Structure 1
Amino acid sequence: MSTMVVRAGLRYLNSYDTTFIFEYYRNGLGYSQTETTEYYSFVEDALAAYQTGNKLPLMKSRKYSQAYSSQNAMEDYLYLRIVQKDPFDILYFSPALTTIANLDDGSLSLSPELLYAPVTNWEFRLKSWFFLGGRRHRIRREAERLPRRGPDSLLFLAMGRVG
């Protein structure tokens, strides 16, 4: 297992004022798909044992949960963000689309966003997240911890001063 962490990316601005940001992130300290699947199986078995009265496996699984619930617990991720500045000549308006893909398990988060910043250091942001992937997929499991508006989405509205 490599302990090297690598992050590489590109940023491109085209003639239509569309910005593309693409990044690859390799976490050499992360867990492989096999290790993660084995962990989730262990936790499910521990829960089943707990429900029959055996608390020991569940207590043991809690020792491991800290490592497997870190932000980038697995190994390979892709990030893509596309931002369009002032479309349709609407000043201070920037819609965006962001996606993060976990290459190890195929899970994906997709996040459309509307940003309006009419005054310096103030912005109004409407953002939603959609999570794709099976029940054992990393990004989907993280999404299950958050409050949701629908079965696979999260809506967020923010207004505030920046800077």
Structure 2
Amino acid sequence: MYCEDYSELITGYLDGELTETEVAQLAGHLNVCTRCYRCLEDIGHLKGLLKQYASTKVLSPSLRFSRKVLRGIQKETTGARKKISWRTLARPLTAWVAAAAMLLLTLFAGILYSWMEAPKSPPPSYYAGTISPQADKLEGEDFDNIEDYLYQHAMEVSRTSLTDNTVFVGYLSR
């Protein structure tokens, strides 16, 4: 065993908690190790002082001292209120204002970044893309402009049943 293990045995010995074999083992170590022997003496001396202190009469405070303490407690609790200054009120407010400013700064930076990095697209040019086979018959016809094509298509769709989903024309931007 090492000295650290014997330190637990020393406190057990002083408290009277060791078996006879543990007491014999500790006595053998104390004959060899002066450090542990001094530790036993110091702890034993400390234990004696604590017993002596516990057995002495505890002094009670005088009546005058008790009254003075009670008056002081009453003054602190009822009479004097703590003055509130603007600095005391501003401390928590400063933290909230700083947090709100950081949030607004972050939002502004995000909006600015997305605006700066937005892709610059050319002006949209629209074309009609056909999806269904029925729209192929319109592709062969010649239209002067997109309005004529849209009018022709609207007329074609109005002639077909509303539940017929075979005619679709998608207007996609390039």
Same-fold call, TM cutoff 0.5: no
- What TM-score comes out, normalization by structure 2 length? 0.17
- What TM-score comes out, normalization by structure 1 length? 0.17
- Which has more radius of gyration? 2
Task: Decide which structure has greater strand share.
Answer: 1
